[in-house]
Amino acid sequence: MTSLADFWSYLSEGPLVWLTATLLAYAIGDACFRGSGRVPLVNPVLVAVALLAGLLFVTRTDYPTYFEGAKFVHFLLGPATVALALPLYDNLGRLRRALLPVLAALLAGSLTAALSALAIARAFGVGDTLLASLAPKSATAPVAIGIAERIGGSPTLTAVLVILTGITGAVVATPLLNLLRIRDWRARGFALGVASHGIGTARAFQVNRTAGAFAGLGMAMNALATAILAPAILPLFL
Amino acid sequence: MVHAFLALLICQLAGEALTRAAGLPVPGPVAGMLLMLALIRLSARMRDLLRPVAETILAHLSLLFVPAGVGVMGHMTTLGSQTMAIAAAIVGSTVLAIAAGALTFVLVARLTGSGDD
């Protein structure tokens, strides 16, 4: 028993255990997703996060220790964003033909995301710091955090709100867009990327390549749009 | 594979340098994506080099959000008494934003005759 405890304390010092656990949890999440017949609610990220949170709780592991292993996966977000250039390239012709719909949808999606989030939160009597953290939540995390800091929000809280927004979008997009009878993959992907950044884009790639390319574009464009719109909109609600 | 990954990292690095130097409000990787787009438009060789690596990474894009997602779990308790308000704001605004974006896209595409092929 002591040797097992020793082995555990030796392992938990290094990144191996939590890197392995992260990939394993995702593999399980992905298997659940496929096994469920691709039900959006059985989102692989959601399943993996729930499993890992449970595991961290049971083993009394703090987040910095976990992140020592998980950071290798987290780091790949940057190169993955750069890699979005490829589907974008493959869809350049499509994109040129859809310039006006893209710009209109960006404006509509970005404004609706910030305005409706602030209006709903305000109706619940939420305080100013939380409102400022909420305003940029549809933008990709580094941008949203930068904006929130500038307009009086909390970086940590913003990171939480950004991730929650991403997961929500990934889960609701398919049933919502089916309900609205929108069959255009460009529209479906783009709207999801604008509203739910990278997590929405990851979801779009699970469904359709064109949707994925347009989602990546939506995410990139909304990073810029939110940086301009969120600081302008927030004062209306303070 | 090494070369493709190197190209991704160099574009990201250049993107970080560019956005910082110019004080742009976009993240470095997004600027890196635009640089990579310019690169693969110019070079078919670069395109072929990048394709297998990019497709592998993008096929598992969801995985990359797991560490950040686990971090969020630890902060759920800090939302405290405002959890309901936040849940309503997040779910409500995300549903409305997706609907508004997609409907606007389809409407403007129809008006301007830019349907999909």
Give B73-99 pLDDT, tens digit per residue. 877 777 777 889 999 999 999 999 999
The DSSP letter of residue A135 is T
**Residue B25 reports pLDDT greater than 80:** no
Cβ distance A134 to B27 less than 8 Å, yes or no, reads no
Gap between the terminal Cα atoms of chain B: 33
- A165 phi and psi angles, rounded to 5 deg: -65, -45
B85-89, long-range: CB < 8 A, 24+ apart: B85/A120, B85/A121, B85/A124, B85/A125, B85/A126, B86/A121, B86/A126, B86/A130, B86/A134, B86/A161, B86/A164, B88/A120, B88/A121, B88/A124, B89/A116, B89/A117, B89/A118, B89/A120, B89/A121, B89/A124, B89/A126, B89/A134
Check: CB of residue A170 under 8 Å from CB of residue A200: yes
Closest residue in A to B91 (Cα) is: A168
Cβ distance A81 to B51 less than 8 Å, yes or no, reads no
Check: CB of residue A140 under 8 Å from CB of residue A171: no
pLDDT for position A7: 82
pLDDT for position B77: 73
pLDDT for position A39: 87
User: How close A72 gets to chain B, by Cα (Å)?
Assistant: 9
Closest residue in A to B8 (Cα) is: A79
User: How close B117 gets to chain A, by Cα (Å)?
Assistant: 8
Q: Which residue in A82, A92, A171, A178 has the most chain B C-beta atoms within 10 A of its own C-beta, making it the best mutation to test that interface?
A: A82
Query: What does the pLDDT average to over B12-16?
Result: 96
pLDDT for position A1: 55
Name the residue facing B12 among A79, A88, A195 (closest C-beta): A79
Cβ distance A44 to B93 less than 8 Å, yes or no, reads no
pLDDT for position A133: 94
pLDDT for position B23: 86
Q: What angle do CA A209, A182, A229 make, to 5 degrees?
A: 80
CB atoms within 10 A of CB A97: 18
- Chain B residues within an 8 Å CB radius of A132: none
- Chain B residues within an 8 Å CB radius of A111: 100
What is the total residue count of chain B?
Answer: 117
Nearest Cα neighbor of B4 from B36, B41, B38 is B36
pLDDT for position A143: 87
To the nearest whole number, what is the mean pLDDT of chain B? 91
Percent of chain B with pLDDT over 70: 98
Name the residue facing B91 among A73, A168, A202 (closest C-beta): A168
- Chain A residues within an 8 Å CB radius of B84: 124
Nearest Cα neighbor of B16 from A92, A82, A135 is A82
- Least confident span in A43-52, A180-189, B9-18, B19-28: B19-28
Stretches in chain A below the pLDDT threshold 50: none
Residue B61 structure tokens: 């894009």
Please report the sign of the dihedral spanned by the C-alpha atoms of residue A45, residue A47, residue A51, residue A56.
positive
pLDDT for position B82: 86
The DSSP letter of residue B116 is -
ipTM above 0.90, yes or no: yes
Could you tell me which residue, B33 or A10, shows the higher pLDDT?
Answer: B33
Cβ distance A82 to B94 less than 8 Å, yes or no, reads no
Query: What does the pLDDT average to over B92-117?
Result: 93
Query: What does the pLDDT average to over B18-29?
Result: 87
Cβ distance A187 to B109 less than 8 Å, yes or no, reads yes
User: How close A238 gets to chain B, by Cα (Å)?
Assistant: 16
pLDDT for position B117: 58
